[in-house]
Structure 1
Amino acid sequence: MDSRPYRIRALMLAIAVVAAGGGASAFARDHDDARRAVEAGEIRPLAEILTSIKGRLPGEVVGIKLEHEAGAWMYELRVVDGNGRLFEIHVDAHSGEVERTKEK
């Protein structure tokens, strides 16, 4: 599978975070936390997660966040379906299991 579309989306997301006022230092800190978590085996790499759940998503991924909530790492995916509906999908960053899906 070609991971370029996901890399481009990740880059676009990074640019959006900085442009929205998150600042370069906030992005760098988040990026470093994510890298350390992957290296420590606490979470699976984003590309691996996206590959494993691709067929279960209702549309195209348009945004991604990595959050540490209630002691667990979660990927929060924003997905838009063919009808323009927006979904928020929470995926356990360690197991890759879809925890919840909510239409926004």
Structure 2
Amino acid sequence: MQRPILLALALAVSPGPAITQGAAPPPGVEPGSGTTDVARARDALEQGKALPLVDILKIVQDQVDARIIEVEFEEEGDHYVYEFELITPDGRLLEAKADPVTGRILEVGEDSDDD
């Protein structure tokens, strides 16, 4: 489960378009192919279809009383969504989805995913 955490780190370190400068895609992934969370997020950021992850993280942290433990950048139909797995102070797992363009939290609920 390191891929989502790496996405969070990669996007949090470089909050703007500089995220792509000097960054090589993983082996077997064509630049801009969108086949990984990082590539999809980078492409969406460059195209103005997503805010930098650091901005979204702040919104989620300000509105949900839980610690973020995993981040994924998913394509849902014709749009993207940031998906967060969180843990509450009492140990419950939550899942939150946020619109990457506006940062608006779309939903928060109990995490039903067991992986």
Do both share a fold (TM > 0.5)? yes
Q: C-alpha separation between the residues in 1 aligned to 2:48 and 2:77?
A: 18
**1:52-67 matches, cutoff 5 A:** 52-67=59-74
Classify 1:24/1:76 alpha carbon distance in 2 versus 1 (closer, same or farther; 3 Å). Answer: farther
Q: Deviations over 1:40-76 (max 9, x none)?
A: 1011111111123321112100000000102111000
User: In 2, Cα distance between the equivalents of 1:24 and 1:12?
Assistant: 17
Within 5 A, what are the aligned runs for 1:19-38?
25=28, 29-30=35-36, 31-38=38-45
Gap change, CA 1:11 and 1:65, over 3 Å in 2: closer
Matched-pair identity in %: 23
Whole-Å separation in 2 of the counterparts to 1:60 and 1:36? 27
What is the number of equivalent residue pairs in this alignment? Answer: 87
- Mean alpha-carbon deviation: is it higher for 49-58 or for 72-81? 49-58
Q: Which runs of no fewer than 5 residues in structure 2 stay unpaired?
A: 8-25
1:77 to 84, 97, 100: 84
Normalised to the residue count of structure 2, the TM-score between the two structures is 0.65
Higher helix share: 1
Cα separation, partners in 2 of 1:87 and 1:25, compared to 1, 3 Å: farther
Runs of 4+ more than 6 Å apart: none
